[in-house]
């Protein structure tokens, strides 16, 4: 099917959302049992961890770990937000820099100021958006970022969204006293799709729409480490320490085969990692190529990662010619 579709359905009995473009699965998120990024806790300080620059906290979902905190004492309560998915057997990663994110705005407590996404390049539109907020809402204690989705949005929708997020922030930030408690649940997959997939698309919410749009095979393929490309293939294999990626040219033995396969992998990698929920340390073993081609591959990989919605840092090449990446763990590993 041509065009862009957002499909809201269930997979294996869990709520799930799929983004499809021209029949190709571009993004997929599914409900898991693990605490999700965006969850806000009232947590209780447990004990500092010497040598790791952080402190353990007690939450209703188990131990959490907060980095780079000083002056905290056991028994103290504080508000924190889940910042990523925990590795198996490890504490939930949290931050004390809480954000309230919705479709049009992000409210930033303790970071005042009204800002507009840099993706909105039209200066006239940027000024118009700031004026709309100032005239309809006036002043407010928290900071606010107007997201790129505001570029073509209706002013009334933006104002409604902004008021809702400011009210939520006010209520939550004033609720620090008490026992450990979940104050805000993270968005469900369907809510996430509404919040993040803001480009124009046909939306199908019918039960069984994954099967109707013939994407079940593409979803099931995410459990297979093998990824086929027109210019070769590669394997994605998560281990306890890192995610390992091995690129191969296949039957093509031409001089340019390795570079073509590596570039094809670079352009597809963000999509595959995003849908599989993989992050942390990533090590890529590219198809063998001359050192002079490394800059070309590096440029292609960086360009592709800039377009990805999950923050990923290009660390560099090792002495053995491997590529190292560091990627945020903000998607669930569900396979």
**β-strands 181-184, 143-146 pairing:** unpaired
pLDDT at 214: 95
**pLDDT score, position 184:** 97
Three-class secondary structure of residue 54 per DSSP: strand
For residues 243 and 240, give the distance between their C-alpha atoms in angstroms, rounded to a whole number: 8
| C-alpha torsion angle, residues 311, 286, 24, 151 (rounded to 10) | 30
What is the structure's pLDDT at 212? Answer: 95
Residue-level pLDDT at 48: 83
Other C-beta atoms lying within 10 Å of the C-beta of residue 82: 25
Q: What distance lies between CA 124 and its chain's CA centroid?
A: 30
Question: Under CATH, which architecture does the 40-96 domain have?
Answer: Beta Barrel (2.40)
Q: Can you give the pLDDT at residue 335?
A: 72
User: Among 99, 129, 36, which Cα is nearest to 329's?
Assistant: 36
Give the strand pairing for 14-21 and 4-11.
antiparallel
> How do beta strands 92-95 and 62-67 pair?
parallel
100-170 CATH: 3.30.230.10
- Position 107 scores a pLDDT of 98
Contacts of 149 (CB under 8 A, 6+ apart): 103, 104, 198
**pLDDT in single tens digits along all 335 residues of the chain:** 789 999 999 999 999 999 999 999 999 999 999 999 999 999 999 988 876 778 999 999 999 999 877 778 889 999 999 999 988 788 999 999 999 999 999 999 988 999 999 999 999 999 999 999 999 999 899 999 999 999 999 999 999 999 999 999 999 999 999 999 999 999 999 999 999 999 999 999 999 999 999 999 999 999 999 999 999 999 999 998 999 999 999 888 888 999 999 999 999 999 999 999 999 999 999 999 999 999 999 999 999 999 999 999 999 999 999 999 999 999 988 77
* pLDDT, position 47: 84
Q: Find residue 280's DSSP bridge partners.
A: 327
- pTM > 0.85: yes or no: yes
Residue 96's pLDDT is 94
The pLDDT of residue 50: 75
196-227 per-position pLDDT tens digit? 999 999 999 999 999 999 999 999 999 999 99
Q: CA 326 to CA 335: how far, in whole Å?
A: 21
Cβ atoms of 15 and 218 within 8 Å: the answer is no
Could you tell me if 104 and 150 are in contact, meaning their C-beta atoms sit under 8 angstroms apart? Answer: yes
Residue 252: predicted pLDDT:
83
The HSE-up count of residue 305 (CA atoms within 13 Å, CB side) is 16
Question: What is the rounded CA–CA span in Å between residue 42 and residue 172?
Answer: 9
Cα–Cα distance for residue pair 239/244, rounded to 1 Å: 7
Q: Report the C-alpha gap between 287 and 260 in whole angstroms.
A: 9
């Amino acid at each position: 099917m041509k065009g862009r579709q957002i499909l809201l359905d269930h997979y294996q009995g869990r709520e799930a959302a799929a983004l499809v473009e021209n029949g190709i699965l571009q993004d997929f998120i599914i409900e898991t049992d693990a605490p999700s990024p965006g969850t806000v806790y009232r947590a209780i300080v447990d004990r500092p961890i010497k040598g790791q620059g952080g402190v353990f906290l007690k939450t209703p979902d188990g131990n959490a770990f907060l980095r780079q905190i000083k002056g905290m004492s056991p028994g103290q309560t504080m508000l924190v937000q889940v910042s990523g998915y925990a590795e198996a057997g490890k504490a939930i990663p949290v931050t004390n820099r809480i954000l309230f994110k919705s479709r049009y705005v992000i409210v930033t407590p303790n970071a005042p100021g009204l800002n507009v996404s840099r993706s909105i390049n039209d200066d006239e539109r940027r000024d118009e958006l700031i004026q709309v907020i100032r005239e309809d809402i006036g002043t407010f204690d928290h900071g606010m970022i107007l997201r790129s989705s505001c570029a073509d949005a209706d002013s009334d929708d933006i104002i409604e969204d902004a008021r809702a997020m400011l009210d939520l922030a006010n209520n939550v930030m004033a609720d620090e006293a008490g026992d450990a408690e979940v104050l805000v649940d993270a968005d469900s997959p369907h809510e996430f799709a509404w919040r993040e997939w803001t480009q124009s698309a046909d939306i199908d919410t019918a039960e069984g729409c994954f099967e109707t749009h013939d994407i079940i095979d593409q979803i099931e393929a995410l459990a297979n480490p093998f990824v086929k490309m027109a210019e070769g293939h590669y394997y994605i294999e998560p281990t306890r320490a890192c995610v390992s990626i091995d690129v191969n040219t296949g039957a093509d033995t031409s001089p340019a085969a390795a570079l073509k396969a590596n570039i094809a992998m670079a352009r597809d990698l963000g999509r595959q990692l995003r849908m599989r929920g993989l992050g942390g340390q990533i090590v890529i073993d590219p198809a063998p190529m001359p050192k002079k081609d490394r800059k070309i591959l590096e440029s292609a990989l960086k360009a592709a990662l800039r377009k990805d919605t999950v923050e990923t840092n290009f660390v560099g090449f090792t002495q053995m010619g491997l590529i190292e990446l560091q990627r945020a763990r903000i998607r669930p590993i569900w396979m």
